A and B are shown apart, each in its own frame.
Chain A
Amino acid sequence: MRMLRLLPRRHAEPVSASTPQPAPSSPVARWAPKRVRGDALAALAALILLAAPAAAQIRVDITGGISAPMPIAIPAMPTPAVANTAAGDTAALGKRVAEVVTNNLKNSGLFSPLGPNALSPVAYTQVTAPDFPFWTSTGAQALVQGFVQANGDGTLTVGCYLYDVFAKTELTRQGFVVSPANWRRAAHKCADTVYTRLTGEGPYFDSRVVYVSETGPKNNRTKRLAIMDQDGANHRFLTNGQTIVLTPRFAPNQQTITYMSFANKRPRVYVYNIGSGTQRLVVDQPNMTFAPRFSPDGNHVVFSMAVGGNTDIYRVPVGGGAPQRLTTSPGIDTGASYSPDGSRIVFESDRSGTQQLYVMNADGSNQNRISFGGGRYATPVWSPRGDLIAFTKIGGGFAVGVMSPSGGGEKILTNGWQDEGPSWSPNGRVIMFFRTAQGSGKADLWSVDLTGVNERRVPTPLDGSDPAWGPLLP
């Protein structure tokens, strides 16, 4: 049996918990998966939710320039009884759940899935009693099986089981109770369960992206705010394109977005409530405000304001009030992004003569330059893991890269003509950015793994720019 190296977790900066805003209750309820009825052997699979076995015997190799994707089998999930739901019948849903899981794992670049379209269906009784000799013959090293069940009260249960094919053991199980409308979230949670168990990384599939959808000629682009699941599903527009909109970012509780709009020819920062569709000005004064972000505790918006030709960074309480000025240099200071513990802010400034990255305390004190790599650096974003800062490097085009918060370890990850505006996945492993084509000016969303591999286009209905990846959904 081939054992893959168990790799140590990357050392992350300690994250002290600042007081979070209360999260809304989750529409995905955890459920302790029971044995699958009808199979005596399956009865040995405990009624109680077990912790993962202590000796993890398979792990995905996640370092190195070229990773070896792990072959993993994900057949369609059977149903104990076919029942109609608002999202289709449970048999059809079982296949769709497996497709979503397959898609997520494939797009991570770390797995080589055999999905439900490449596999025969499995019987419901096999879900907790896999046919290991068969799975071994497929070349799969890991196996995901599950089921979809209608609960009679309008909800669905999605069971998710992960097996080590070589060792013929169950690695973990998780169950999710959702309304039919949220079936994709159960699939994302299942994929996250599998992914975290096999890579040791944090989850990221159950998350959303807000971005600017673009269309039209280069000299008159129509831009609309849009939101979608990280895999492109459930896409909808939030604004109608009548005014230029730029750089939307999620609040930590994901109920609101902050962004900049040219409404009434007054470019300013707004906070937009996704549920109600209403918005308000963050700072009601005449100067241009832009480049907004929330603090990790959701209590402040940090933003840039241009006063008489000089742009500086300010922060303001989310509820309103007087902005507090954080930078005072005569240079352009913009692009502020908080560290995940909320204690520091990274930003860009051209106070030295060219755009460079600086880190300061969240109150504006102790500003220090961190970029000395011999180029120009912009749009810094602190990883949610705290260990890295992503940025746009400028010089003969734009490229996306990462460096440590002290400025060392610079690594460039992309090589398009203009790759710009990185944003981190919730687990700090994948970076989404936008790529502009030379000449046409057409922009699209792309993502790349932290190791620089798996650079891939993120599908959107129109063109796209300014992506912001939201936190993991609860």
Chain B
Amino acid sequence: MAHLVTKLTLATALVLTAACAKKKPADLPPPPPTAAPTQETPPPPAPTGPTPGSRADFLAQTGTDTIYFATDAYDLDSEDEAVLAKQAAWLQKNPTVNVTVEGHCDERGTREYNLALGDRRANAAKNYLVNNGIGASRISVISYGKERPVAMGSDEAAWAQNRRAVTVVPE
């Protein structure tokens, strides 16, 4: 746009003026920067992207809403903690957002035990977040046991994807 070209020309002029105001340099001043192309260019777009505090914003900032567990286990490994640390940071920055942590299991456990194990997993994630400064009343937990797998197979790869805790931010 025209005013941008004007700004650049003016800046160039100011540079030259400034150079002339000082003691004459031993060397010639560097050539002025190439002026902007004379054709019209569009301005940078107005900032868009996820609404702050939304689920999309959460995912964009943290990378993932899911941590994974070993068979029959509910302890957090370092990868889990790294993910949860980012979640905690986001929750600190968005103090009015409340979340639900879901706990899930793979299909190789019995029905009721898996409900309890899912609850352990959800609470393991919640406890980490609480220990990192997030108020407990902001985090509710729910266990789905083995009722809602994401991976449909009956193999190690699928089971590993299903043993998870998911932090759900309202959309």
- Seen from chain A, the residues whose Cβ lies within 8 Å of a Cβ on chain B are 217-221, 244, 246-247, 262, 265-267, 288, 290-291, 304, 306, 308-309, 311, 332, 334-335, 348, 350, 355, 378-379, 392, 394, 398, 418, 420-421, 436, 438-439, 441, 465-466
Determine whether B87 belongs to the interface, using a CB cutoff of 8 Å to chain A: no
Q: Are B147 and A306 in contact (CB under 8 A)?
A: no
Q: Are A309 and B123 in contact (CB under 8 A)?
A: yes
CB contact under 8 A between A334 and B116, given known A267-B143, A438-B154, A439-B154:
yes
Q: Are B149 and A309 in contact (CB under 8 A)?
A: no
Determine whether B107 belongs to the interface, using a CB cutoff of 8 Å to chain A: yes
Whole-angstrom CA separation of A348 from B110 in the bound complex: 11
Of all A-B residue pairs in the complex, the 6 with the closest CB atoms, nearest first, are A309-B123, A311-B116, A306-B119, A332-B116, A378-B110, A291-B112
Determine whether B150 belongs to the interface, using a CB cutoff of 8 Å to chain A: yes
From residue B86, how far is it (CB to closest CB) to chain A in Å? 22
CB contact under 8 A between A288 and B119, given known A217-B152, A219-B148, A220-B148:
yes
Q: Are B152 and A218 in contact (CB under 8 A)?
A: yes
Q: Which residues of B contact A290 (CB under 8 A)?
A: 112, 115
Determine whether B138 belongs to the interface, using a CB cutoff of 8 Å to chain A: no
Whole-angstrom CA separation of A364 from B115 in the bound complex: 22
CB contact under 8 A between A379 and B152, given known A306-B143, A308-B123, A441-B107:
no
Determine whether B142 belongs to the interface, using a CB cutoff of 8 Å to chain A: yes
Q: Are B142 and A288 in contact (CB under 8 A)?
A: yes
Residue from the set B117, B150, B151 with the largest chain A CB neighbour count within 10 Å: B117
Out of B112, B120, B123, B150, which one reaches A334, CB within 8 Å? B112
From residue A276, how far is it (CB to closest CB) to chain B in Å? 28
Interface of chain A: mostly helix, strand, loop or mixed: strand
Q: Are A379 and B116 in contact (CB under 8 A)?
A: no
CB contact under 8 A between A378 and B149, given known A288-B142, A436-B107:
no
Q: Are A350 and B113 in contact (CB under 8 A)?
A: yes
Q: Which residues of A contact B117 (CB under 8 A)?
A: 332
Q: Which residue on chain B has the smallest CB distance to residue A436?
A: B107
Q: Are A304 and B110 in contact (CB under 8 A)?
A: no
Q: Which residues of B contact A392 (CB under 8 A)?
A: 110
Determine whether B153 belongs to the interface, using a CB cutoff of 8 Å to chain A: yes
Out of B120, B124, B153, which one reaches A439, CB within 8 Å? B153
Determine whether B111 belongs to the interface, using a CB cutoff of 8 Å to chain A: yes
CB contact under 8 A between A398 and B115, given known A218-B149, A265-B142, A267-B143:
no
Whole-angstrom CA separation of A379 from B153 in the bound complex: 24
CB contact under 8 A between A309 and B120, given known A265-B142, A392-B110:
yes
Whole-angstrom CA separation of A379 from B115 in the bound complex: 13
Residue from the set A217, A306, A332, A436 with the largest chain B CB neighbour count within 10 Å: A306
Q: Which residues of B contact A217 (CB under 8 A)?
A: 152
Whole-angstrom CA separation of A340 from B120 in the bound complex: 32
Q: Are A306 and B116 in contact (CB under 8 A)?
A: yes
Q: Are A247 and B112 in contact (CB under 8 A)?
A: yes
Residue from the set B111, B122, B124 with the largest chain A CB neighbour count within 10 Å: B111
Whole-angstrom CA separation of A379 from B110 in the bound complex: 7
CB contact under 8 A between A288 and B113, given known A309-B124, A418-B107:
no
Out of A262, A309, A350, which one reaches B119, CB within 8 Å? A309
Q: Which residue on chain B has the smallest CB distance to residue A286?
A: B140
Q: Are B152 and A306 in contact (CB under 8 A)?
A: no
CB contact under 8 A between A221 and B112, given known A288-B119, A288-B142, A332-B120:
no
From residue B29, how far is it (CB to closest CB) to chain A in Å? 68
Q: Are B116 and A244 in contact (CB under 8 A)?
A: no
Whole-angstrom CA separation of A436 from B106 in the bound complex: 13
Q: Which residues of A contact B142 (CB under 8 A)?
A: 265-267, 288
Q: Are B111 and A304 in contact (CB under 8 A)?
A: no
14 further interface pairs, Cβ-Cβ under 8 Å (given A290-B112, A332-B113, A436-B107): A246-B115, A265-B142, A304-B112, A306-B115, A306-B116, A309-B122, A332-B116, A334-B115, A350-B113, A355-B110, A378-B112, A421-B111, A441-B154, A465-B111
From residue A289, how far is it (CB to closest CB) to chain B in Å? 10
30 chain-A/chain-B pairs, Cβ below 8 angstroms: A217-B152, A219-B148, A219-B150, A219-B152, A221-B147, A246-B115, A247-B111, A265-B142, A267-B115, A288-B115, A288-B119, A290-B112, A291-B115, A306-B115, A306-B119, A309-B74, A311-B116, A335-B112, A348-B113, A378-B110, A379-B110, A394-B110, A418-B108, A420-B110, A420-B111, A421-B111, A436-B107, A439-B153, A441-B107, A441-B152
**Beta-carbon contacts of B16-52 to A below 8 Å, as 1s and 0s?**
0000000000000000000000000000000000000
Q: Which residue on chain A has the smallest CB distance to residue B147?
A: A244
Whole-angstrom CA separation of A436 from B109 in the bound complex: 12
Whole-angstrom CA separation of A335 from B151 in the bound complex: 27
From residue A2, how far is it (CB to closest CB) to chain B in Å? 45
Q: Which residues of B contact A379 (CB under 8 A)?
A: 110-112
Residue from the set B109, B123, B148, B154 with the largest chain A CB neighbour count within 10 Å: B154
Q: Which residues of A contact B115 (CB under 8 A)?
A: 246, 267, 288, 290-291, 304, 306, 311, 334
From residue B147, how far is it (CB to closest CB) to chain A in Å? 5
Out of B100, B110, B143, which one reaches A288, CB within 8 Å? B143
Q: Which residues of A contact B154 (CB under 8 A)?
A: 438-439, 441
Q: Which residues of B contact A220 (CB under 8 A)?
A: 148
Out of A218, A309, A311, A466, which one reaches B111, CB within 8 Å? A466
From residue A125, how far is it (CB to closest CB) to chain B in Å? 55
Residue from the set B100, B110, B122, B151 with the largest chain A CB neighbour count within 10 Å: B110
